[in-house]
Amino acid sequence: MIAIIHLRCTTDVIHLRRDRMLDFTKLVLNSVEPVYAQINQFVKRQIFLGKAKKGDPLPSRRELATQLKINPNTAQKAFRVLEDAGLVLTPKNTVSILYFDEEMLLEIQREMTADIVAEFVKKLKENKLSLAEVMGLLQQEWEKEEGNEKYIKA
């Protein structure tokens, strides 16, 4: 059975579907970055990939701590960071939900794309490839993908 809850948030009505709760079990934590920052990045990535939508519920702080095997205070800090960023809304006495507008979505897309490009460039430089070589490889791969798309559409 699907529980649907209606919340009125500023000017929007959000339909909360418990079957769409964001699944944090797919988050693999590393020991380099703070856990709360990794949770923040994970949520943004899920939004970027379209796997998380506006109005999707989040697990409680205690549930998140249990899922990730982290300290509940760390889960609380992660929620606070997400709330401060305007990505999560927690109305009184109810479940926290993802809440972002079109402008925030565009900002997340820009940020995630910039991160992908930065990581790509870093790896290319580590492999001692010149910009000319990279541009040639990109052009070649781009054209190959366009050929694949035409083949699939036909």
Q: At 94, which CATH number?
A: 1.10.10.10
Residues 71 and 121 in one domain: no
pLDDT exceeds 60 at position 8: no
Residues 122 and 82 in one domain: no
Residues 71 and 136 in one domain: no
CB atoms within 10 A of CB 64: 22
**Helices assigned H by DSSP within 1-154:** 35-48, 61-68, 72-84, 102-126, 131-153
Q: Which has more pLDDT, 84 or 5?
A: 84
Tell me what pLDDT residue 152 has: 61
pLDDT exceeds 80 at position 3: no
Residues 119 and 91 in one domain: no
> Number of folded domains in the chain?
2
Domain annotation covers residue 71: yes
Give the Cα separation of 42 and 49 in Å (integer). Answer: 10
Residues 8 and 40 in one domain: yes
- What mean pLDDT do residues 142-148 have? 85
Residues 90 and 25 in one domain: yes
Residues 120 and 80 in one domain: no
Q: For residue 147, what are the domain limits?
A: 115-153
Q: Among residues of the chain, what percentage have pLDDT more than 90?
A: 71
pLDDT exceeds 80 at position 14: no
Domain annotation covers residue 127: yes
78-87 confidence digits (pLDDT tens): 999 999 999 9
| Average pLDDT value over all residues in the chain | 86
pTM (whole model) above 0.85? no
For 8, phi then psi, to 5°, come to: -100, 115
Which tokens go with 34? 């703070």
16-36 confidence digits (pLDDT tens): 455 578 889 889 999 999 999
Residues 92 and 119 in one domain: no
Tell me what pLDDT residue 150 has: 65
Q: Which residue, 72, 100, 128, sits at the end of a domain? A: 100
- What mean pLDDT do residues 35-51 have? 95
Residues 86 and 134 in one domain: no
- What mean pLDDT do residues 41-57 have? 94
Give the Cα separation of 37 and 40 in Å (integer). Answer: 5
| 145 band by pLDDT with thresholds 50, 70 and 90 | confident
Give the Cα separation of 51 and 134 in Å (integer). Answer: 31
Which tokens go with 30? 């590393």
